[in-house]
Chain A
């Protein structure tokens, strides 16, 4: 009964997922990482089912056959059966060995720190309450509330936050990774087809948490270059003062108003300072205590007083513009 319900609901969620456009989970992937994750997901279900099907099959049989009123064979002292014992230990052991081998391969293959082959687009994601700031250091642009990536080129993303811990996920493209203040994590993914999906923060960070979503568009390379050009021509530039105001708690429209954006939609910013990401991380490594009024995300945050340090954090293993190869759990 339970299994039926489970599959019914899973199936219904698939149906709902396929019907709901645009697609936005790894079950309808837009890129190779999410696709492998989906395949692995179904493989694990299949293998594990071998171990749990006997429970579904034999429990009803035993309960009916050996119900008291049936007066079937009764062995009150039977407490051990060597042949059964082989099955009882054998089945789970064999399945776990099979699953473990696949787990090992899949985990290494889908390691979010592993760069994908090709010339990557570098994106630096900064978690704020309650939006993400995306900096494209090589293109000299930044966005809030929108991520546009070219189809066919890998994306090398490095992440941090300038408030509490958050978790970044674009389900249809890649799994999630935490973003932590003063630290840097990495995520590599690639869109292999055009489409629109969405990304979000999945780690609760206060009242506006459910608002922290953004559309993700995977577009052909030429269109992407056009988009980059359009963003570069934006009137708003990502100065330190603008960044400080983006740090005020609030959703996209609040942020737009705070920095004088004319639309309610995604915010396009030009000319981010090249080492902004490193300086955001450096905020937590100055050797001085950080007053709450300088801390984005706190109740008393004051963008006029908050200042980023001059010098970016020195990061080992990173290329000049960031997004180079990274070590795990990099503290900078």
Chain B
């Protein structure tokens, strides 16, 4: 029986019991992501309602630095690519019971961490610049909703980065082998999910704000 009851990359039959076990776990994580999506949706909605509520303060045109946002987007998209490569490495290089996991997985994860960290650093820099330029989140409802929406995404990225570090540390642990596969799979879902959210933020907040 081919089990593929959730969307996305499966471990595949070759992984034996790990494949079956990941079924419920990954499906559950999909449900979590749907819930998280609603949370982002609420903040998107709030942002759109408050897009004109700059209360005389600076708005998108004064504050947004499209160059930096483009760089962030590039970094995040690259990290998604490396994340995808990590998933493929997991699926195809971890099949056998090889005692030592291939290095490619760890390498892709490290690259993902790097690009994610670049994204986060650029984002934090932009926030600091905006705040320094006299537009802290207390300045207006618009700035509050901008900070909350983009900040929530940034917070998710931060959690994702800590998560990668933990996973990189756990990959070598024999006692966790099956569990680690599941965690890597849901972490990858999480990471791509954040990418999609970012595309939304990029389009609605940044492009929408500058149009």
Chain B interface SS verdict (over half): loop
Query: A289 within 8 Å of B by Cβ?
Result: yes
B138 touches A289 (CB 8 A): yes
B55 cross-chain contacts in A, Cβ below 8 A: 285, 287
Query: B56 within 8 Å of A by Cβ?
Result: yes
Question: How long is the Cα–Cα vector from A289 to B57 in the complex, in angstroms?
Answer: 11
Number of residue pairs spanning A and B whose beta carbons lie under 8 angstroms apart: 7
A287 cross-chain contacts in B, Cβ below 8 A: 55-57
Question: How long is the Cα–Cα vector from A65 to B138 in the complex, in angstroms?
Answer: 69
Q: In chain A, what residue has the closest Cβ to B57?
A: A287
For window 289-332 of chain A, which residues contact chain B by CB distance below 8 Å? 289
Q: In chain A, what residue has the closest Cβ to B139?
A: A289
Report B124-145 CB contacts with A as 1/0, cut-off 8 Å.
0000000000000010000000
CB B204 to nearest CB in A, in angstroms, measures: 21
B57 cross-chain contacts in A, Cβ below 8 A: 287
A288 cross-chain contacts in B, Cβ below 8 A: 56
Question: How long is the Cα–Cα vector from A237 to B138 in the complex, in angstroms?
Answer: 38
Question: How long is the Cα–Cα vector from A287 to B59 in the complex, in angstroms?
Answer: 13
CB A157 to nearest CB in B, in angstroms, measures: 27
Question: How long is the Cα–Cα vector from A287 to B54 in the complex, in angstroms?
Answer: 8
Question: How long is the Cα–Cα vector from A288 to B139 in the complex, in angstroms?
Answer: 8
Question: How long is the Cα–Cα vector from A286 to B138 in the complex, in angstroms?
Answer: 15
Q: In chain A, what residue has the closest Cβ to B55?
A: A287
Question: How long is the Cα–Cα vector from A289 to B138 in the complex, in angstroms?
Answer: 9
Report B45-58 CB contacts with A as 1/0, cut-off 8 Å.
00000000001110
A289 cross-chain contacts in B, Cβ below 8 A: 138
Question: How long is the Cα–Cα vector from A287 to B138 in the complex, in angstroms?
Answer: 12
Question: How long is the Cα–Cα vector from A287 to B55 in the complex, in angstroms?
Answer: 5
CB A327 to nearest CB in B, in angstroms, measures: 16
Q: In chain B, what residue has the closest Cβ to A289?
A: B138
Question: How long is the Cα–Cα vector from A287 to B57 in the complex, in angstroms?
Answer: 7
Which 3 residue pairs across A and B have the least CB separation, nearest first? A287-B56, A287-B55, A287-B57
Interface residues of B (CB under 8 A from A): 55-57, 138
